[in-house]
Amino acid sequence: MKIGILALQGAFAEHAQMLRTLGADTFEIRQNSDLNQPVDGLVIPGGESTVQLKLLNDLDLLVPMRRMITDGMPVFGTCAGLILLSKKVDGQAYGGISTMNIQTCRNAYGRQLGSFYAESVMEGVGEKVPMPFIRAPYIQTLLSDECQTLATVEGRIVAAREGNQLVTAFHPELTNDTRVHRFFLNIVSSADSR
Ligand code: GLN
C-alpha cells in the first residue's frame, strides 16, 4: 500500500513515520510530477492552510489532487488538511481542494485557545483517542447525508468521514497512538481497486 503525503509545509514527516510503522510505503508530494506514480491514498497534513493553498496553486497541484479525490482516491486530512478539504470555510464557499461536504470554522477557538489536549471516543477507532489540537478548526455543519460525524469534543465535530475522505481537527500523528492511521489504512484497503 502506497500513500502520498503532501509535503509542502507543516507536519508531513510525522505522518510518514506513523504510516511506515503500520507497514505502508510513503512518498512525499512536492511537485506535479510526484503525482505520476501509483498511489493508493493521500494525506494532507496540518500546518497553515493559507500557505499550503498558495503553494498548491503555484505548483499546479490543486486541480489534479482535487480530481484524484473526486474520482475516489482515499484521503486523510488533519487540521489545516481538514480546512483544505472543506467545501465551505467560515461561512463562505472555499476554493481549496474542497472535495468534502463540510462547513468549517478556522481558528475556531481564538488564536491561543485553539491549542489544547482532549481524549475522546472516535467511531471506528475506539475509546480514549488522544487528540492534540493546535490552533484547531472544527466542523460546524455537515453539508451532505453522506458525511458522518466520527468524534465530538465539547459538542463540536472534530472528526468526520465522507466515503473515502477522512478528516480530523486534531493531530493523531503527534501522538504515539496509531489507531486513527490504521483506520485510514483500512479505508484505503477497502477502497475499490483502480
Ligand atoms: N489554523 C491553521 C490554519 O488555518 C491550522 C492549524 C493546524 O494545522 N495545526 O491553517
Q: Mean pLDDT, the chain, as a whole number?
A: 95
C-alpha cell at 102: 463540510
147 is catalytic: no
15 is catalytic: no
**Mean pLDDT of the 54-69 span:** 98
Domain definitions of the chain by residue range: 2-192
Residue 107: the pLDDT is: 76
Residue 114: the pLDDT is: 73
**Mean pLDDT of the 63-86 span:** 98
194 band by pLDDT with thresholds 50, 70 and 90: very low
Nearest to 122 by CA among 88, 166, 69: 166
User: Can you give the C-alpha Rg of the chain in angstroms?
Assistant: 15
Three-class SS string for the chain?
CEEEEECCCCCHHHHHHHHHHCCCEEEEECCHHHHHCCCCEEEECCCCHHHHHHHHHHCCCHHHHHHHHHCCCCEEEECHHHHHHEEEECCEECCCCCCEEEEEECCCCCCCCCCEEEEEEECCCEEEEEEEECCCCEEEEECCCCEEEEEEECCEEEEEEECCEEEECCCHHHCCCCHHHHHHHHHHHHCCCC
Q: How far is the centre of ligand 1, averaged over its atoms, from the C-alpha of 73 (Å)? A: 23
Cα atoms in the Cβ-side hemisphere of radius 13 Å centred on 48 = 6
| Number of the ligand 1 atom closest to the C-alpha atom of 46 | 8
Residue 167: the pLDDT is: 98
- Residues 48 and 7: beta-carbon distance below 8 Å: no
Q: Identify which of 9, 14, 106, 175 to mutate to test ligand 1's pocket (most ligand atoms within 8 A of the CB).
A: 106
79 is catalytic: yes
pLDDT, one tens digit per residue, over 96-140 is 999 999 999 997 666 666 789 999 999 999 999 999 999 999 999
Catalytic residue among 14, 79, 147, 162: 79
Q: Which residues line ligand 1 (CB under 6 A)?
A: 46-49, 79-80, 83, 106-107, 134-135
Q: Which CATH architecture has domain 2-192?
A: 3-Layer(aba) Sandwich (3.40)
C-alpha cell at 69: 479525490
**In DSSP terms, which residues pair with 27 in a beta bridge?**
4
Task: Tell whether residue 77 is among the known ligand binding residues.
Answer: no
Q: What is the pTM of this model?
A: 0.96
Task: Tell whether residue 106 is among the known ligand binding residues.
Answer: yes
